Amino acid sequence: MEDKPPILRNIKQKLIACNAEIEVVGEAANGRDAVPMLLEQQPDIVFTDIRMPLMDGLALIEAVQGQLPDTQFVILSSYDEFEYARTALRLGVSEYLLKPMSADELAKVLDRLVPEARRRRRRAAERYLAALLRGGAAARMPGLFQSAGYRLLLVCLGPYPLANVSAYSQQSWTEQDVYALMSHDPQAICAPTADGNIFAVLAADGGDPSVARRMLEAAEARQAADAPFVTVAEGSPHATPEACTAGYAALRTALRLGQRLGQNTLTHAGIQPEALSSGDRALCQSLSAAGRDGRREAFFAELETALCTWRRESATQHRIQQALRRLLKGMRRDAPEEDQPDEQMEIDELLSLCADHEELRDGLLSLLNVLGRNTSDAEAQQSVLDAIESVEAQIRVNYAQPLSVRELACAMGYAPAYFSRQYKKHRGVSPQKYLTSVRMNRACELLRAHPELKLRQVSEMVGYANPLYFSRIFKATMGCSPSEYKG
């Protein structure tokens, strides 16, 4: 925005010459004419003079910045006056440049602003996708990428959440994990869903291989031991992003029905649930009988057969869930009716935590051992309290190690979901919360006693390999960042 045509032409030429990504989408000689143009174009960067007729540059910024939260503003001025600079600072102006400016000076400014513009545009597109999934969105998609067609994908990192296990799950996945699988494809955006390990991806249709297949290839190529298995539900192509999100519920169903434990899998809307085989039914029947009759050796031998069969046949999580529910119902048919829903939930929670068949085997054996104990209520409660105290002692000693509540519970002979529920009943918080509180208290001690320690050092000393994740947990727990706490 500049009221002197020769200066305006000079600025435009310098901008285009300095950076090939720059496209000048509009110009105006005064602030009043600029307002509707800016709201229509929604530019990434605005260069404006201060002194212009009808409306000056500072008033222009104040008038539009509330509706253009991702736009960066640069002031060009011939006046090196403190009051102007102070007002610009209050308005959050990105740069304050004095005229005349050299091409080198402008190039340095653009080197800072253009990457930030890309980040802001991507964040705006992610907010747009999240709003679409909630059932509402802005009038148009931010200009991150345009395509003749779009596809919606749902990506599940690790097991599908049949139950809410966030209180004692050790994993914490983010959109960055999904972008890494896509090699940060500029033609795709990602947004979280209500479930912490399920993410929505809006991608341009086309390409060979597709975004979904590239993600699965990347998942297969990873070497990290703690990398989750990946399930991708791929939607049909549509002309608009809005039309894609109409199939969101069907894709959730496809994820739930199509996931295969420990395997990277591609699934699609309309998939039919994998039915129990005749072998599954026969196994469940013989397992149930052995469990009721107390024939432990026969029971566990049959269970190993079932687990091996599901692994060999790459059984879906859904099929395993139905078989285990059938097994538990048969074993516990004489149990009080009010106990049966909780026991069914144990199965769902177990499957929501298992990353592979080995974890399923260990968790299932722990769960069945707990359910099969023939002890009085008083003995059972004392056993739980002893286990709780033992786990707390291990946490206090080993908090700096990569502890897993699931592994601690299994080591005490309890299914993770059952142990966590009992822990919360007796302590009022989850075991994961207790672990976090021990780590945060120790972090506070270190920050007070050793202010010279770097964030990464403190993070590692209290059991967090990722300092950014540590900072997020610290702020959520203590109400301030580690640096603010240190003062």
Give the single-character DSSP code of 338.
G
On the 0-12 / 13-18 / 19+ scale of CB atoms within 10 A, 110 is: buried
3-state SS track over 48-61: EECCCCCCCHHHHH
Chain mean pLDDT for the chain: 80
- Please state, in angstroms and rounded to a whole number, the distance separating the CA atoms of residues 228 and 173: 9
Better-predicted residue by pLDDT, 374 or 133: 133
Q: Please report where in the chains the tokens 């399930």 appear, as a residue.
A: 231
Residue 226: what pLDDT? 64
pLDDT band per the 50, 70, 90 thresholds, residue 63: confident
Report which residue type is found at 183: S
The CATH code that applies to domain 379-486 is: 1.10.10.60
Whether pLDDT at 236 is above 50: yes
Better-predicted residue by pLDDT, 446 or 104: 446
Residue 155: what pLDDT? 93
Better-predicted residue by pLDDT, 229 or 96: 229
Query: How many secondary structure helices (H) and strands (E) does the chain include?
Result: 21, 8
Q: What does the pLDDT average to over 146-153?
A: 84
Question: Which residues are CB-neighbours of 291 under 8 A, at least 6 positions away?
Answer: 299, 327, 330, 331, 368, 372
pLDDT band per the 50, 70, 90 thresholds, residue 370: low
Better-predicted residue by pLDDT, 57 or 216: 216
Report which residue type is found at 419: F
Report which residue type is found at 127: R
Closest CA to 370 of 336, 347, 393: 347
Residue 255: what pLDDT? 92
Residue 253: what pLDDT? 93
Residue 3: what pLDDT? 56
Q: What does the pLDDT average to over 306-313?
A: 90
Query: Regarding the domain delimited by 150-268, which CATH topology (the fold level of the hierarchy) does it fall under?
Result: Alpha-Beta Plaits (3.30.70)
Closest CA to 354 of 224, 259, 252: 259
Whether pLDDT at 377 is above 50: yes
Q: Please report where in the chains the tokens 């601690």 appear, as a residue.
A: 408
pLDDT digits (tens, 9 = 90+) for 66-113: 888 888 888 877 766 656 666 767 777 777 777 777 778 778 888 888
Better-predicted residue by pLDDT, 179 or 298: 179
Residue 220: what pLDDT? 85
Residue 375: what pLDDT? 44
Q: What percent of the chain has pLDDT over 90?
A: 15
Better-predicted residue by pLDDT, 15 or 394: 394
Domain locations in the chain as residue ranges: 5-116, 150-268, 278-372, 379-486
- Please state, in angstroms and rounded to a whole number, the distance separating the CA atoms of residues 207 and 150: 12
Residue 374: what pLDDT? 45
Torsion angles phi and psi, residue 72, rounded to 5: -100, 135
Whether pLDDT at 387 is above 50: yes
Whether pLDDT at 257 is above 90: yes
Report which residue type is found at 283: L
Whether pLDDT at 179 is above 90: no
| Segment among 181-190, 250-259, 263-272 with least mean pLDDT | 181-190
Residue 56: what pLDDT? 79
On the 0-12 / 13-18 / 19+ scale of CB atoms within 10 A, 340 is: middle
Q: What percent of the chain has pLDDT over 70?
A: 83
Better-predicted residue by pLDDT, 331 or 156: 156
Whether pLDDT at 136 is above 50: yes
Residue 23: what pLDDT? 75
Q: What does the pLDDT average to over 291-311?
A: 80
Better-predicted residue by pLDDT, 473 or 370: 473
Q: What does the pLDDT average to over 458-468?
A: 88
Better-predicted residue by pLDDT, 279 or 233: 233
Q: What does the pLDDT average to over 7-25?
A: 70
- Please state, in angstroms and rounded to a whole number, the distance separating the CA atoms of residues 234 and 211: 9
97 SS3 class: strand
What is the assigned CATH class of domain 5-116? alpha beta
Tell me the DSSP string of 22-88: -------SSHHHHHHHHHHH--SEEEEESS-SSS-HHHHHHHHTTT-TT-EEEEEES---HHHHHHH
